Amino acid sequence: MTDQQLIQKAKLARKNAYAPYSNFKVSCALLSSSGKVYTGVNVENASYGLTTCAERMAVFTAVSRGERDFEKIAIVTDTKEPKYLCGACLQVLSEFCQDLKIICATVNGKSRNYTLKELLPKAFKKIR
Ligand code: THU
């Protein structure tokens, strides 16, 4: 699966993002080591704090299907420049990923590549 194909899958998922409060739709596509792709979108709530980010939605969906290992994730936003992921999502990804490639992209075709280690160099890990 190429980066462009993964970005395309994230773009297709955008229509299901539910963001009536922020009007900021985020969608993503997470590629597991088994070769399957799990998409996620942000789902907001009238009680704002209950909002779930697109990235965590994708990870939790994948883990609920038995996946534990991931290769790369593409995140798409409708912004001039690609956006980073929030710290909470980086931490959740770090639970399952050692060497995750992160592609931050815009709907208009800009993208930048990072690694999880680069964006969260000192993740909190299991205490035992
Ligand atoms: N959001 C994500 O879905 N992922 C991130 O990494 C950062 C923020 C969502 C949450 C909220 O619905 C909207 O973007 C504005 O913060």
Task: Report d(CA 28, CA 82) in Å as an integer.
Answer: 13
63 occurs within a structural domain: yes
pLDDT at 85: 96
126 occurs within a structural domain: no
Find the domain containing 30 and state its range: 3-119
49 occurs within a structural domain: yes
Phi/psi for 112 (5° steps) reads -135, 145
pLDDT at 17: 98
Atom of ligand 1 nearest to the CA of 84: 6
The rounded Å distance from CA 56 to ligand 1 centre is: 10
40 occurs within a structural domain: yes
- Candidate list 44, 55, 95, 118, residue with the active-site label: 55
Contact 57, 40 (CB under 8 A): yes
Helix, strand, coil distribution of the chain in percent, nearest 5: 35, 25, 40
The CATH number for 102's domain is 3.40.140.10
Q: What is the pLDDT of residues 39-94, one digit of tens each?
A: 999 999 999 999 999 999 999 999 999 999 999 999 999 999 999 999 999 999 99
In which band, very low, low, confident or very high, does the pLDDT at 27 lie, cut at 50, 70 and 90? very high
In DSSP notation, 47-102 reads SGGG-B-HHHHHHHHHHHTT---EEEEEEEESSSS--PPPHHHHHHHHHH-SS-EE
pLDDT at 127: 79
Q: Is the pLDDT of residue 128 over 90?
A: no
107 occurs within a structural domain: yes
Q: How many domains, in total, are found in the chain?
A: 1
125 occurs within a structural domain: no
